[in-house]
Structure 1
Amino acid sequence: MIETTVESVDLRSPPTITPETPVTEAAHSLRRPTVSALSVLEDESVVGIVTESDIVALVAETDDRPATRTIMSAPVTTVSPTATITDAAETMRTYGVKHLPVVSDGVYRGLLSVRTLAPYLPRHRLEIEWRDEPMRLEATEGQELTVGD
């Protein structure tokens, strides 16, 4: 089976910001329906990422309006354009992120999101690995276990 790579996917190129961008400016960009995250670049390198939840946390915690540097998630988990879609999805799952900046030779190339990956992955994929003894159900004396128990 041939795996699709990240570089073959139509990557989104939402606006980018710098660590010094005011949070209010980042919030305005995130209000657009097509923008769910902003990559934070210094020169051409990804140094952080800002999502809607970062802005919500800031508003909930303080009345300050600092620079983006104070709320961005860093360091950033990134993916190479040559990575497979499956590897990118596994990276998202492992690190608990919904967005992966695509970086080639240290240069930002675009943003990969869960929404972008969805059409390329099986709808239902179940992988179970037992790390301990399988669960055992034992009835107490005089009791019968049924499937619903």
Structure 2
Amino acid sequence: MIETTVESVGLCPSVTIAPDTSVTEAARQLRRTDVPALVVIESDAVVGVVSESDLVAMVAETDERPTVRALMSTPVTTTTPSATLSEAAETMRASGVKHLPVVSDGRFRGLLSARALAPYLPRHRLEIEWRDEPMRLESADDLGVTSGD
């Protein structure tokens, strides 16, 4: 049986941001209905992912407005264009993530979401559980960031 690969399905619009982007700008980008998550790029490498849940956690944890670097999910779990959809779904499930940056030859190529996988896989293959501690932001002083964003 030949399985469908990541490169053969439509990847989500790939909005990228820098780690020093304000959370206000990140929130503006995530308000767009066609943007499921933001991929954080530094020196052409994927260094983090920011989702709506990251912003919600930040609001619940603090009144500060740090940069994206303070709230992005990292380390980043990625996949390749040649990975099968089953492999990508297993990677999402095992890592507890709903968005996988697609990387080839060290460069970001697009974003694969659990929603994009849904038409191709049985529902039980896409059940993803959060496996991390609740978000804890360091104070802005510890991170060398200023508020007032």
Q: Same-fold call, TM > 0.5?
A: yes
Larger radius of gyration: 1
The residue aligned with 1:90 is: 90
SS where residue 119 of structure 2 aligns?
Answer: helix
1:31-46 matched pairs, under 5 angstroms: 31-46=31-46
- For 1:61, the aligned partner's letter is E
Residue 34 of structure 1, CA deviation: 1.6
Q: Which residue of 2 aligns with 1:22?
A: 22
Aligned AA (2:57):
A
One-letter identity of the residue aligned with 2:102? V
Q: How many residues align?
A: 125
CA RMSD of superposed structures (Å): 1.1
Residues 59-118 of structure 1: per-residue CA shift (max 9 Å, x gap): 111111111000001110000100000000000000110000000011000000000011
Gaps of 5+ in 1: 126-149
1:123 Cα shift? 4.1
Matched, 1:4 2:4: yes
Counterpart of 2:80 in structure 1 is 80
Q: Which runs of 4+ in 1 moved over 6 A?
A: none
Q: What 5-or-longer segments of structure 2 have no aligned partner?
A: 126-149
Aligned partner of residue 118 in structure 2, secondary structure: helix
2:105 match: 105
Higher relative contact order (CA 8 A, sep 6+): 2
| Residue aligning to 2:57 | 57
Q: Distance in 1 between matches of 2:90 and 2:15?
A: 25
The one-letter code sitting in structure 1 at the alignment partner of 2:30 is: L
3-state SS of the aligned residue for 2:90? helix
Distance 1:43 1:13 in 2: 20
Cα distance between partner residues in 2 of 1:100 and 1:121: 16
Task: In structure 2, give the amino acid aligned to 1:51.
Answer: S
Partner of 1:116: 116
Instruction: Find the aligned partners of 1:7 and 1:104 in 2 and give their Cα distance.
Output: 11
Structure with greater helix percent: 2
Match of residue 131 from structure 2 = none
TM-score, normalization by structure 2: 0.81
Q: TM-score, normalised by structure 1?
A: 0.81
Q: Shift of residue 11 of structure 1?
A: 0.9
Match of 2:138 in 1: none
Corresponding residue number in structure 2 for 1:139: none
